Amino acid sequence: MAKWDEDLPPIMRERLAKIGDVTPEERARMKDTEQLESLLSQFYKGDLSAEGLWSRLKQYRDEGKGHLLREAQLRLIDTIGSGSGAEELRARKDAILAVETLKESQNTPTLETLLNSIDGLQKRRKQELDQAYNSLKAQVDRNPQLRMQQVRQGQSTMVVQLTVDEAVRILPEWKNFVVNHDRQYAQEFAGVIESLKGAVK
């Protein structure tokens, strides 16, 4: 019985043979990437400050590994989530901007503007949610009927009085607002992140 790879075109057999071969350059790059991951892991845990990260990456740059600067920034950007806290966001921003100063060609003003826009986006999101919530809360306050909810217990149904906050949270208007608002926010956030990655040269 013939081997399965004997039926493949010669070019495919050649490619399959090369897959196992890793060049010294590729091996060196893989090692650099592992070192970068370890370094960033220390930063994420809080064992390394933005200044410490800058210092270590400066050593890499001075050793001719400048390609790691952009890689470090992209990885830092990937860890910024739509729900990142203010402290976490500030640490990422400081690190990304610190790494930018190590480059020959810098794009600091654009990066800073985009990073600040994430902070502004988060604040606006919270403000809009608070405004909508307070508006619905005022409606519930004015209409005691909205605080009544029918609850089934076995065969019978009873009416339960909810707190104002409980009543607001079960309102369809509130649930719809949150879903639509979060969808719009996620789209805007994703757009800023893409712009941020594009600004990293």
pLDDT at res. 145: 87
Q: What is the pTM of this model?
A: 0.77
Q: Are 11 and 99 in a shared domain?
A: yes
| 1 belongs to a structural domain | no
pLDDT at res. 69: 94
pLDDT at res. 76: 96
Q: Are 91 and 137 in a shared domain?
A: no
Range of the domain at 25: 7-106
Q: Are 20 and 102 in a shared domain?
A: yes
| 163 belongs to a structural domain | yes
* Residue 42, amino acid: Q
pLDDT at res. 1: 42
Domain total of the chain: 2
| 2 belongs to a structural domain | no
Last residue of a domain, one of 76, 106, 136: 106
For residues 69 and 39, give the distance between their C-alpha atoms in angstroms, rounded to a whole number: 12
Q: Is 148 helix (H, G, I), strand (E, B) or coil?
A: strand
Find, among 114, 105, 94, 117, the residue nearest to 46 by Cα: 94
Last residue of a domain, one of 87, 106, 125: 106
Q: Are 144 and 67 in a shared domain?
A: no
Mean pLDDT by 10 residues, the chain (201 residues): 58 64 74 89 92 93 91 94 89 95 93 94 94 94 86 80 89 94 94 94 86
Q: Which long-range contacts (CB under 8 A, 24 or more apart) does 110-113 make?
A: 110/199, 111/196, 111/199, 111/200
Q: Are 11 and 101 in a shared domain?
A: yes
